[in-house]
A and B are shown apart, each in its own frame.
Chain A
Amino acid sequence: MHLLTQGRERAKLVNEVILTMRFAVAGGTLGRKDRFIPYVFLLPAVVGLLMFEVLPFFMAISESTTPASLLTGVRHFAGLAVYRVLLTDPDFIHSILVTLLWAVIVNPIQVTISLVLALAVFKKGIGNSVFRILYFLPVGSSLAVTSIIWGVILDPNGGLANGLLGAFGIHSQPFLTSPHQALWSIVLLASWTGCGYWMVFFLAGLNDIDPALYEAASIDGAGTTGKIFYVTIPMLMRMIAFVFVSDTVSNFLMFAPLEILTKGGPNGSTDFLVYYAYSHAFSMNQMAIGQAASVILLIIVMGFVAVELRLMRAETGD
C-alpha cells in the first residue's frame, strides 16, 4: 500500500517534470505551484541592486537638479543650472583636462609594461615562476597602502627614492610636491600595483594560444620577434582590448593617492574628476555640484563599461 502510493506520487512528479520541461523548451513558465519561485529567489539580489546601484543614480540626478539654497537651505528645482555652473567653472574644465591627461599617460604605460612582463616571464621554468610571483606580489597592497608606502619612499627629505638617486649621483627630486612631477609620481605608484595585476590577464591570454601556430610560424621562418608580432600580438588582440578598457575604467576612478598624498595638488595638477566631485561634495559643502560631477563621471564610465561588456560578450558568445 505504502509502496503503491509512493510509486503513484513518483509517477505524478515525473509527469510534472516532463510538463515543466516541455514548458521550458517552449520558452514558457514553470508549473502553477512553482510560478513564484524565481521571483522569491531573486528578491534579495534585485532589491540590493535596485536600492544600492540604480536608485543612487536617480538620486544624484535629482539632487543635482534641485540644489539647496545657501541662504535658506530650501530645495528648489533648477533644471540644468548646476550643470551650467559646473561647465563654466574653470576648475572643472581643468579637472577634466587633467583626468584626460592622466588617462592618456597611465593606461598605455600600464598595458605596455604588463604585456612586456607577461611575454618576458611566460615560458615555463622555475626562474620565470619566481619572477611571476614577485611581479604579482604588490597586488596584495591596496591603493591606500600603496599611497602610504610610496608617500614615504618619495618623501623629498629622507625618502628612499632620493637616497637611491643620490647613490647614482642624481640630485634630489621634489616628486609629489612639484606640479610637474606629482602626476608622474602617481603614475609610478599606481603602476607598481597595476602592472602585476594586468600581467596575469596577459599570461592567461598567452596560455590560450595554440602552440601549433608558433610551429607554423617557425616553419615559415619567423624568429622570436617575428613570432611576437605575427602570432602573439594578433592572437592577444581581444585580451589587450579588454585590459585596456578595464584599466581605463579603474584608473578613471583613481582616488586614494589624491586624498592621501596630494589633495589634488600641487596647483591642481592631480585634481582628477573623482577628487573634484569628492572635494566639492564633502570639503566645500557643495553637494549639488559634487553630485552633478558624479553624474558626468558616471556617464563617462558607463561608456567605457559598454565597450567592456561587448568585449566580454564576444568571448562568452552570450
Chain B
Amino acid sequence: MQAKQPETRNGLLGLAPQIGRSTAGVVRVLLVIIYALFSITPLLWMLVGSFSTDASIFANSTPFSLKAFVPYPFTLEGYRLLVASGFFRALQNTVIVTLGALGLGLLVNSLAGFTFALFEFPGKGLLFALVMVTMALPPDVLAIPLYTLIYGIGWVGQLQALILPAVASGFTIFLLRQAVLGIPRSLIDASRIDGLGWFQIYWRIVLPLIGGSLIGGGLILTISIWQSFLWPLLVGTTSAAELIQVSLAYFQQEHTTLWNAIFAGSVVAVAVPTVLLGVMQRHFRPSLLTSGNK
C-alpha cells in the first residue's frame, strides 16, 4: 500500500498525478482534452480561414487535411471584401451605441442604486418591486412588444432606439444598490456633517468606492449590447443604425460562399468581447449575476 498523496500536490500540469493512477484518471484527461479541442477548433478555423482564400478553406476541409489550420496561401482578401461591404459603418454604429448605453446606463442606474440603498421614502417598496420584477427579465422577451412603441414614436432606424431602451436596467440597479449597502453608513454621515450635498456625496464619495461593481456591471452591459441580435434586427433597419451582429448576418445571407470574408467579420465581432473578458477577467464574477453582494 502506498502512502496517501497530499491533496495539495497536483504535479506539473495539475493533471499529471492522475495519469497512470487509475483508468478514471485517464478518462478524465482524455475528456478534458477532447472538450478543449471542441471548444477551440471553431475559433481557430475561423481565425485561420479569415486569412485564407476560399478555395483553400474549401479544399482542406473535405476531405479533411491539417492544412485547414494553416493560413497558406496567406491573403487579406477576406478583410478587403469586408471593408468594401460597409461592415465598418456597422462597427462604428455598434461602438457608438455601446458607449452611449454604457455611459448613460452606469450614471442612471448607479444613481438609482444609491437612492435605494440610502434613503427611506414613501413609495420605496413599490418602486423597488419594479426593479425586482424587471431585473431578471431578459430584454429579448420584450423585443416584439417594445417594437410597437418604438415604431409608434417614429424611432425605427435611429440610433436612440438602440441606446435608450438599454439604459435603465433593474439588474444593474440591484447590483449597484448592493455595492452601496456595503459602504459604512458613518462615512456618509460624516460627509453630510462636512456639508456635502447628496449629489456630491454620490459623485465624490460613493462612486469611487463602488468602482469594482461599476466595472463588473459595465462589462456585463457592454457585452450584452455588443452581442445583441434580435432588437437590432427589428429597429436597426437603416445603414445609420445597423449593428455589427445584424450586418454580419446579412452579409452571410447575401454572400454564402465568401467564407473568408464571413470569417473576417466574425473575427472582428468576436475579438472585442473576448479581449474585454480577457483583460477584465477578475471583474467577471458570477456572484454579480447570482446575488450581487459577494
Interface residues of A (CB under 8 A from B): 9-10, 13-14, 17, 20-21, 23-24, 27-30, 34-35, 37-39, 41-42, 44-57, 59-60, 63, 113, 116-117, 120-121, 123-129, 131, 134-145, 147-153, 157-160, 162-164, 166-167, 172, 192, 196, 200-201, 203-204, 214, 224-225, 239, 242, 246, 249-250, 253, 255-256, 259-260, 274, 277-278, 281-282, 287, 290-291, 294-295, 297-298, 301-302, 305, 308-309, 312, 315-316
Contact = CB atoms under 8 A, between A and B. Distances in A.
B61 A158 contact: yes
Given A305-B136, A316-B293, A49 B39 contact: no
B146 to A, nearest CB: 4
Given A39-B121, A150-B42, A260 B249 contact: yes
7 contacts: A42-B127, A137-B43, A141-B274, A192-B39, A291-B144, A298-B145, A309-B136
Closest 6 A-B residue pairs measured CB to CB? A125-B14, A48-B168, A140-B274, A127-B13, A142-B227, A163-B64
A255 B140 contact: yes
B81 interface: no
Contacts of B271: 140
Nearest to B138: A253
Given A141-B270, A316-B178, A46 B127 contact: yes
Nearest to A125: B14
B28 A250 contact: no
A17 B194 CA distance: 11
A159 B193 CA distance: 69
Interface residues of B, number: 107
A297 B130 contact: no
B121 A56 contact: no
A158 B55 CA distance: 11
A287 to B, nearest CB: 8
Given A120-B28, A158-B61, 16 more contacts: A13-B193, A30-B119, A42-B115, A46-B127, A125-B11, A125-B14, A140-B273, A140-B277, A150-B42, A160-B61, A163-B60, A259-B229, A260-B252, A282-B234, A290-B144, A308-B136
A256 B62 contact: no
B36 A134 contact: yes
Contact of A162 (B43, B62, B272, B286): B62
Nearest to B41: A160
B88 to A, nearest CB: 16
B233 interface: yes
A315 B289 CA distance: 11
A41 B112 contact: yes
A132 B45 CA distance: 20
Given A10-B193, A42-B115, A46-B112, A29 B252 contact: no
B209 to A, nearest CB: 17
Contacts of A9: 195
B40 interface: yes
Interface string B160-187: 0000110110100100001000000000
A17 B140 contact: no
B269 to A, nearest CB: 5
Interface in B112-146: 112, 114-116, 119-122, 124, 127, 130-132, 134-138, 140-142, 144-146
Interface of B: 7, 10-16, 24, 28, 31-32, 35-36, 38-43, 45-46, 49, 58, 60-64, 68, 108-109, 111-112, 114-116, 119-122, 124, 127, 130-132, 134-138, 140-142, 144-149, 164-165, 167-168, 170, 173, 178, 189, 192-193, 195, 198, 202, 226-230, 233-234, 245-246, 248-249, 252-253, 259, 262-263, 266, 269-275, 277, 284-287, 289-293
A154 to B, nearest CB: 10
A181 B32 CA distance: 26
B290 A201 contact: yes
Given A49-B168, A131-B32, A291-B148, A145 B266 contact: yes
B213 to A, nearest CB: 14
A55 B149 contact: yes
A105 B144 CA distance: 26
A116 B131 CA distance: 34
B63 A166 contact: yes
B138 to A, nearest CB: 6
A59, A142, A259 pick with most chain B CB within 10 angstroms = A142
B285 A204 contact: yes
B249 A163 contact: no
A55 B9 CA distance: 58
B248 A148 contact: yes
Contacts of A242: 290
Contacts of B7: 214
Contacts of A160: 41, 45, 61, 64, 68
Contact of A145 (B16, B127, B130, B248): B248
Nearest to A245: B136
Contact of A153 (B45, B63, B130, B202): B45
Contact of A158 (B58, B144, B147, B228): B58
A149 B42 contact: yes
